[in-house]
Structure 1
Amino acid sequence: MTNHNLYAALRAGFPAELDSAAIETETGLVYSWRDIEQGSAMLANLLASLEIEPGSRVAAHTDKSVEALLLYLACLRAGFVYLPLNNAYQSSELDYFIGNAEPAVVVCSGRNFGWLSKLAFQRGVRHVFTLDDDRSGSLLERASHFGQQHEVVSRAADDLAAILYTSGTTGRSKGAMLSHGNLLSNARTLHAYWDWRADDVLIHALPIFHVHGLFVASHGALLAGAKMLWLSKFEPKAVIERLPRATVFMGVPTLYVRLLQEAGLTRELCARMRLFVSGSAPLLIETFRDWQRRTGHVILERYGMSETVMLSSNPCRAEDGERVGGTVGPALPGIGIRIVDDRDAALPAGETGPVQVSGPNVFGGYWRMPEKTAEEFVADAAGRRWFRTGDVGRLDERGYLSIVGRSKDLIITGGYNVYPAEIEGMLNELPGVAESAVIGVPHADFGEAVVAVVVAKAGAQPDEAALVATLKSRIAGYKVPKRVLVASDLPRNAMGKVQKNLLREQHKALFTG
């Protein structure tokens, strides 16, 4: 039987010379391909020794490090399910994720071990380890006692490889279940479509708790046997310093905006680069044009989701077509994208409507939410299964997709998804707040900024700084409103529903003048 384990496919992409450099960190530390193979083997052997059930979840709430990437690879090769968690998440958020996913193992940074281990043990987690970005922690200490050889566990294409939590409009996060087949099909498609080569060098400046950094960037380099210049976090000057040695860079629009602010960014510096990729949020056409003028390179915009990995992409090769700013390109090979009406009937080119997608990359469903899963899929007359993305878009005559809107409440700030219902629920519980509405407004740096409009209870005077400080202690920083505005009431329609479109229009110039 063919082994569809994703790690086996990634491992097959390693170069023959395993002692050559695979990853170089900002401190100058170099990891060889042999280090990746042996390090992930030791971690896989440790996980296997815990005698946890096949398919058990391993949750990681850690800072970015090469060892954290090795933990992910170890989970794949040992047949466990990787659960990456944003390291900005606070206790209330983690309590939900751990309670819902019921991981057998939690790995966290040492500074959070005290409160997070208590929370995990209360939720029935059997094993909690620490892992820090300086190559320390109990996970590595325990793994050092295990062998450097490990036989990759056989997995079927439909076996679960990872769960990525994505917020919903109700405020309740949903765990998107991605299989080995989902991830491998997308990695191979991008490998071919983006012309990955063994002599490519990727500047990896993205977090590894979401699709863009963990799957698109890491899988691309590993499958190609290409070197990575590893940055623990994005820092414009550090990226610019590495551009002459690199060929590929991936970022969210915010990163490109910040790089353009650096005087050192020149055409000469980018002479060796062959591909700049942008995603996770819409790229402003001004940024697209400014980048081309400044560097001589045209950014490749693409479209994907936690539930699907990558769906469409502007062409990489000139012979396949031009890269068109304001679009995310045509559907990737083997993937279907259609625009539909309110009856799920496909619309012709040029029409605007909900975006639905289909293909081997599309996830199987939401973890322990069969009813929600059923709601989000529809079958066409031929029996093909289509996923409702929640985005609104249109396809032109060439098949290029433009995303013109999103599900009614979603805010994308700096590449991160924020759903207002979650923030509103917390605001409404705070002293002096009668009700609230959270919206996204244009922001030159983040694309969109989170803004809250609150109505005070009778006789109360909510303090903006106090509300923001309280939220910062409870939720990830990117979710915290950049402004909290006090209003006498909220605009509503005849049905009593808050008209957020009016609020967005009213405050659209809050950060842009």
Structure 2
Amino acid sequence: MTTPTHLNHNLFVALRAAFPADLDATAIETETGLLYSWRDLDRATAMLANLLGSLEIPAGSRVAVHVEKSVEALLLYLATLRAGFVYLPLNTAYQQAELDYFIGNAEPAVVVCAGRNFPWISKLAFGKGVAHVFTLNEDRTGTLLDRAAHFPETHVPAVKSADDLAAILYTSGTTGRSKGAMLSHGNLLSNAQVLKDFWDWQPGDVLIHALPIFHVHGLFVASHGALLNGSKMLWLSKFDPRAVVERLPRATVFMGVPTLYVRLLQEPGLTREACAHMRLFISGSAPLLIETFRDWQERTGHTILERYGMSETAMLTSNPCRPADGERLGGTVGPALPGVGVRVVDDAFAPLPAGEIGHVQVRGPNVFSGYWRMPEKTAEEFTADGWFKTGDVGSFNAQGWLTIVGRSKDLIITGGYNVYPAEIEGYLNDLPGVAESAVVGVPHPDFGEAVIAVIVPKPGATPDADALVAALKSQIANYKVPKRAFIVAELPRNAMGKVQKNLLRDGHQGLFSDDGKGIPQAS
């Protein structure tokens, strides 16, 4: 006996129901000209779901995926939902020490990795009790697809409640190791449905998908948006500004992080004529400089829509899409989305009036239930009345538009990626000759912020700053590696002994400026 569709809250069921009537229409077109129809998506996800189901792994098992972006990787995500398991995307930049932690913490039943990484990832996974390791490459090869080819092309989606876990996204913490944010089928579907209406998705919309698919922006916001609207995606495995500009006349929607907009503005082909067919440009994952906002308006005639979200919550606020809902204000992330609560409070959690800066707290059907296997940390991050403490600091204007002014946690956002200093400091402090370190973010014209490290050597040691940076490159993702490191005798501290990172940031503000003023010398 099958469960009626309306009683099954599996996110895949809702996405599949939105496929267009013509299943032979193109759903995804790659940069190489490869075409995937909606029927291909249905059949391929069925075969992959059947493969996963054949492994006889328990309900709720995690499927950890560390592969390059490809359509097949997206199909694996959808198949994991379809089969009723939990998807665990891992940034392809993660190195061995990071994967060792994630696999140990999440205890996935299945790991999928690139073929070139199979020797070391499989050894790591099998050593931690993972039963199944498959390979998936960006050229549509690998053992995952080889095995799936033998399974049926039909599959009845697993029955899930709205509260059942759909995905775990690891987000770095300011202290200790990364935390796994648990997102349910209901969290993700509610957010996708709200955005479909609020961003006014139209019949015939076409999305340029140029984002990675290991985080919220590319995997959920972009992919769910197109799928839930039955919209075609023009798929780029990696961001290429020229390739994006070439596709603008055939598209209507583009989503990017601020760094992508900066790079697009460097393309001579980006003109009003090229953007004439476009309906919506969306920016998120990091603050958009007001200069970029204005340059884009002047160059293209379009006003970028800025929005705000987190791994733990998906999207929370958004500048208006429809003119009737108000204008898009540069430097703000708009009002709370329908059904989402956002408040700005003081240290005692008392709401603050418009114009006053305080802690941003949120609640709603999109907000996660907690961190994987961290009940105490989860309890810390929610207020007694159920609001999630984002760790962001901001203020509302008179009309209720939110502006994020910084982080109460030491987050660095570089090129749209989140970097938490405590994690980098932990690796640095383990290196030979290092007594202690402090990692901060400073302004960078391309990445928004750049990671730098200030290091105090052990007595008698003379570590080389460049050598320390080079040592980190084999341990952590490249975007986390400091772009510059400096050796100092001591770190600035306050009366309580706490490192005054504000002084370090201030002292290195001009490090990456065009004129080079204020660049300190490494000793």
How far residue 378 of structure 1 moved from its aligned partner, in angstroms, is 1.1
Find the counterpart in structure 1 of residue 79 from structure 2.
74
2:156 maps to 1:151: yes
2:120 maps to 1:135: no
Find the counterpart in structure 2 of residue 53 from structure 1.
58
Find the counterpart in structure 1 of residue 99 from structure 2.
94
Find the counterpart in structure 2 of residue 481 from structure 1.
482
Find the counterpart in structure 2 of residue 452 from structure 1.
453
Give the aligned CA root-mean-square deviation in angstroms.
Answer: 0.8
Find the counterpart in structure 2 of residue 341 from structure 1.
346
Between the two proteins, the alignment pairs up a number of residues equal to 509
- SS of 1:140's partner is helix
Find the counterpart in structure 2 of residue 274 from structure 1.
279
Find the aligned partners of 1:145 and 1:77 in 2 and give their Cα distance: 18
2:99 maps to 1:85: no
- SS of 1:34's partner is helix
Find the counterpart in structure 1 of residue 520 from structure 2.
none
- SS of 2:201's partner is coil
- SS of 1:243's partner is helix
Find the aligned partners of 1:431 and 1:76 in 2 and give their Cα distance: 45
What letter is aligned with 1:210? Answer: H
How far residue 409 of structure 1 moved from its aligned partner, in angstroms, is 1.0
Find the aligned partners of 1:365 and 1:265 in 2 and give their Cα distance: 42
Contact kept, 8 Å, 1:171 with 1:420, in 2: the verdict is no
What letter is aligned with 2:393? Answer: V
Contact kept, 8 Å, 1:171 with 1:419, in 2: the verdict is no
Cα deviation, 1:158-207, whole Å, max 9, x if unaligned, reads: 00000000000003100000000000000000000001123011000000
Find the counterpart in structure 2 of residue 317 from structure 1.
322
Find the counterpart in structure 1 of residue 178 from structure 2.
173
Find the aligned partners of 1:407 and 1:129 in 2 and give their Cα distance: 40
How far residue 465 of structure 1 moved from its aligned partner, in angstroms, is 2.2
How far residue 508 of structure 1 moved from its aligned partner, in angstroms, is 0.7
2:270 to 243, 260, 265: 265
Find the counterpart in structure 2 of residue 105 from structure 1.
110
How far residue 459 of structure 1 moved from its aligned partner, in angstroms, is 2.9
2:125 maps to 1:120: yes
- Between 1:358-367 and 1:426-435, the stretch displaced more is 426-435
Matches within 5 A, 1:180-219: 180-219=185-224
1:4 to 6, 9, 14: 9
Find the aligned partners of 1:171 and 1:305 in 2 and give their Cα distance: 19
How far residue 264 of structure 1 moved from its aligned partner, in angstroms, is 1.3
What letter is aligned with 2:483? Answer: K
Find the aligned partners of 2:81 and 2:270 in 1 and give their Cα distance: 38
Contact kept, 8 Å, 1:160 with 1:180, in 2: the verdict is yes
- SS of 1:288's partner is helix
- Between 1:452-461 and 1:37-46, the stretch displaced more is 452-461
- SS of 1:379's partner is coil
2:381 maps to 1:376: yes
TM-score of the superposition, structure 2-length normalised?
0.96
How far residue 142 of structure 1 moved from its aligned partner, in angstroms, is 0.2
What letter is aligned with 1:128? Answer: V
Cα deviation, 1:245-268, whole Å, max 9, x if unaligned, reads: 110000000000011111111110
Find the aligned partners of 1:510 and 1:28 in 2 and give their Cα distance: 43
Find the counterpart in structure 1 of residue 509 from structure 2.
508
How far residue 405 of structure 1 moved from its aligned partner, in angstroms, is 1.2
Cα deviation, 1:276-298, whole Å, max 9, x if unaligned, reads: 00000000000000010010000
Find the aligned partners of 2:202 and 2:112 in 1 and give their Cα distance: 33
2:261 to 232, 240, 256: 256
What letter is aligned with 2:366? Answer: N
Find the aligned partners of 1:44 and 1:260 in 2 and give their Cα distance: 41
2:391 maps to 1:390: yes
How far residue 445 of structure 1 moved from its aligned partner, in angstroms, is 0.5
Find the aligned partners of 1:448 and 1:373 in 2 and give their Cα distance: 28
Cα deviation, 1:57-76, whole Å, max 9, x if unaligned, reads: 00000000000000000010
Q: Which runs of 4+ in 1 moved over 6 A?
A: none
Find the aligned partners of 2:32 and 2:463 in 1 and give their Cα distance: 46
2:42 maps to 1:37: yes
Find the counterpart in structure 1 of residue 521 from structure 2.
none
2:441 maps to 1:440: yes
Cα deviation, 1:407-462, whole Å, max 9, x if unaligned, reads: 23110101111011111111111122221100000001000000001112233322
Q: Which runs of 5+ in 2 are unaligned?
A: 517-523
Find the aligned partners of 1:85 and 1:157 in 2 and give their Cα distance: 24
Find the counterpart in structure 1 of residue 426 from structure 2.
425
What letter is aligned with 1:436? Answer: S
- SS of 2:320's partner is coil
Find the aligned partners of 1:388 and 1:236 in 2 and give their Cα distance: 36
Find the counterpart in structure 2 of residue 496 from structure 1.
497
- SS of 2:138's partner is coil
What letter is aligned with 2:512? Answer: F
- SS of 1:434's partner is strand
Contact kept, 8 Å, 1:57 with 1:102, in 2: the verdict is yes
